[in-house]
A and B are shown apart, each in its own frame.
Chain A
Amino acid sequence: MKFGVVVFPGSNCDRDMQDALQNDLGKEVIILWHKDKDLSMFTTDDCIVLPGGFSFGDYLRCGAIARFSPMMQSVVDFANKGGKVLGVCNGFQILCESGLLPGILLSNGQQRFVCKNIFMKYDEGEPLKIPVAHGDGRYFTEAKILDELETNNQVIFRYCDEYGNIDIASNPNGAARNIAGIRNKAGNVFGLMPHPERASSEALGNTDGRKVFSILGLN
C-alpha cells in the first residue's frame, strides 16, 4: 500500500505525515500538490491523505476553499471508486466540506484552541493516547444522521479518559457524542481530529498513533 499526501497552501502537518508514514510505518509516500490532478500512479488499494494545517488560512470556513482545489476533484473520484482516503484535523474538515463525510467541525465549545494529548478508543478497544491541536474540532450534525452513523458503525473513534470511560470531561471540544473520528458508509474514507502522525515514533515517546493506522487498515 502506498500513500499520497496532498499539500494545500497552509497545510502544516504534511511533512509530519510523510515522516511518520515513511520512517515509522515504512511506506512509500508521494507528495501531491493541490493544483495537480493526476492520481494515475495510485490504485484503489492505496491511500490519499489530507493532512492537518490551515488550508487557505481557514478563510470562510475550515476546509471550505480547499474543497475546490483541482486535486480534490480527483480525490473525490478516487474515493468514489473505492480508494482509501484519510483526513486528519484540517483534512477531516476538508472531507466534511467536500461531502465525502457527513457533518461539520464547529469551533470548540469552550472558546479555546486545544493542544494536548487526549485519549480515544475504537469500539471497545484500549484507550489510545493521541495529540490534538485544533480550534475547530466540535463534530456536529443533526441527531438523525448521528443515529445513522452509530447504527452503521461509522463512528470510529470517541474521546474517552485514560481508563476508556466515554464522558463529558474527556471531550476536548464539545463534539457530539464524543466523536473524534468517523468513516463513510462504504468504509474507505476516514476523518479524525487527533493526529496519529505525531505519535508514531519511539523518539517522540508515544507510538499509539501506529495503532490508529492499523485500526483503519492503513498499515
Chain B
Amino acid sequence: MTYNVQIKVMPLKDLLDPQGKAVLGGLQNLGLHTVEDVRIGKHITLQIEAASEEAAKALAEDASKKLLANPVMEFYEIEMVN
C-alpha cells in the first residue's frame, strides 16, 4: 500500500532564523505590527510503498534522521496522512 507522509522540519528554537527575521520585517512593512515572530522551515511530503503504516513511519523516521533534517540545527515532526 502507498502511504502519504508529511514531515515538518523547523530550525531549533534557540537558533537565529535569518529568513524568518527578514519575513517578519516584510510583514511589519505591510502594517501587520502584531506579528511578533516568524520562523521558517520546510514541509516535505513522501509517498512510501510499505506493508504497514508502522513500516512507512519507520522509513520516514529513518529518512528524516539520515538526510531530511540535521539534528544540529533542526527538529522534525512526522505526520501520517492516510
Contacts and interface: CB of A to CB of B under 8 A. Distances in A.
A109 interface: yes
B17 to A, nearest CB: 8
Interface stretch (A14-22, A29-37, A99-107, A183-191): A99-107
B16 A174 contact: yes
A60 B72 contact: no
Interface string B34-65: 00000000100000000000000000000000
24 contacts: A60-B42, A60-B67, A60-B68, A61-B70, A64-B70, A65-B67, A97-B70, A104-B70, A104-B73, A106-B15, A106-B16, A107-B18, A107-B19, A108-B18, A109-B16, A111-B18, A111-B19, A111-B21, A140-B15, A140-B72, A140-B73, A141-B72, A142-B72, A174-B16
A109 B67 contact: no
A219 interface: no
Contacts of A111: 18-19, 21-22
A10 to B, nearest CB: 17
A21 to B, nearest CB: 30
Nearest to A106: B73
A68 B73 contact: no
A104 B72 contact: yes
Nearest to A108: B18
Interface residues of A, number: 18
Interface of A: 60-61, 64-65, 68, 97, 103-104, 106-111, 140-142, 174
Query: Which of B15, B42, B67, B72 is most buried by chain A, counting CB atoms within 10 A of its CB?
Result: B72
Contacts of B67: 60, 64-65, 68
Nearest to A104: B72
Nearest to A142: B72
A106 B20 CA distance: 13
B51 to A, nearest CB: 26
Given A104-B70, A104-B73, A106-B73, 17 more contacts: A60-B42, A60-B67, A61-B70, A61-B73, A65-B67, A68-B67, A103-B72, A106-B15, A106-B16, A107-B18, A107-B19, A109-B18, A110-B18, A111-B18, A140-B72, A142-B72, A174-B16
Which 7 residue pairs are nearest across A and B when measured between Cβ atoms?
A111-B18, A104-B72, A111-B22, A107-B18, A104-B73, A109-B16, A61-B70
